[in-house]
Amino acid sequence: MTSDAVISSENLTKKFGSFTAVDHITFEVKKGEIFGFLGANGAGKTTAMKMFCGLLRPTSGKGFVAGLDIYKESEKIKKRIGYMSQRFSLYEDLTVNENIQFYAGIYGLDRKTIRKKQHELSDKLQLTAYQNKLISSLPLGWKQKLAFSVAIVHEPDIVFLDEPTGGVDPVTRRQFWDLIYEAADAGVTVFVTTHYMDEAEYCDRISMMVDGRIEAIGSTDHLKAKYKVNSMNDVFLILARNVEI
């Protein structure tokens, strides 16, 4: 493991009975990197992500997140990471401020810091007028931006984003990526899955998972050159379906 790796795995494997969901994956993600974790449905992305988040015990292999062992230190890992998914992010029947308070409280931030964060976030996301409105009354795009900000409210080493922009309008989708860049510039490592191939281009590096294995890894320029195609969609097609372009 190199010193600036925030995630590293060596032959990490997860089996469910006779089915191998994640099959000997070996890779590293560096500090401050935006890493795109791509693959077809059922390729094993969610299973791998759960292992890195300390939610699922691997069958074999090694894995470290923020320097912590995913077998022995999964509870410590949970304090050092942030997580956000498209499906579950915020409590719909709590207000904007209550959600911030709730998540910041769970991560052990003190009351003064929480109040400061409530101001900062509302200001940054232009939600000041909505601080006491229920989450259920906000448009999806706003919710997703707030959910991301809440997922990094405790300044984690790394944030896991599982299809964060699904169903979001094209302008808000780009504003969301502005937030990702801002977090990465502040030193937060970003681990993101997406089905939008244009978003793969916004990552520093991506990996492509096929049938539980990492079939390719590198910058999008590197991968397009390697497979001699012009778009990430074609790279996906070649790797995920073994199609000749």
Partner 1 sequence: MRPPIDIYGISKHYEDIIALKDISFQVNKAEIFGLIGPDGAGKTSMFRILTTLLLPDTGEAYVQGYHIVKDYKKIREIIGYMPGRFSLYQDLSVEENLSLFASIFGTTIEENYELVKEIYSQIEPFKDRRAGQLSGGMKQKLALSCALIHKPEVLFLDEPTTGVDPVSRTEFWGILKNLKAYGITILVSTPYMDEANMCDNIGLIQNGEILSIDTPGKMTQDFDRDIYAIKTKHKHKFLNTLKSYENTYSVFSFGDSIHYIDVRNNVKESELISTFSKMEFPEFNIEKIKPTVEDCFMDLMKQE
Binding site for partner 1 (CB under 8 A): 39-42, 86, 139-141, 163, 166-172, 174, 177, 181, 195-198, 201-202, 220, 231-233, 236-237, 240-241
Cβ-based nearer residue to partner 1, 145 or 154: 145
Instruction: Round to whole Å and give the CA distance between 72 and 62.
Output: 11
Using DSSP, state whether 5 is helix, strand or coil: strand
Cα-based distances in Å from 233 to 36, 37, 193: 14, 14, 15
Closest distance between partner 1 and the C-beta of residue 48, in Å?
15
Name which of 26 and 231 has its Cβ closer to partner 1.
Answer: 231
Shortest gap between Cβ of 58 and partner 1 (angstroms)? 21
Shortest distance, position 237 Cβ to partner 1, whole Å? 6
- DSSP assignment of 84-102: EESS--S-TTSBHHHHHHH
Q: Among residues 78 and 174, whose Cβ is nearest to partner 1?
A: 174
How many angstroms separate the CA atoms of 98 and 90, rounded? 10
State which residue, 80 or 173, has the beta carbon closest to partner 1.
173
Q: Shortest gap between Cβ of 184 and partner 1 (angstroms)? A: 10
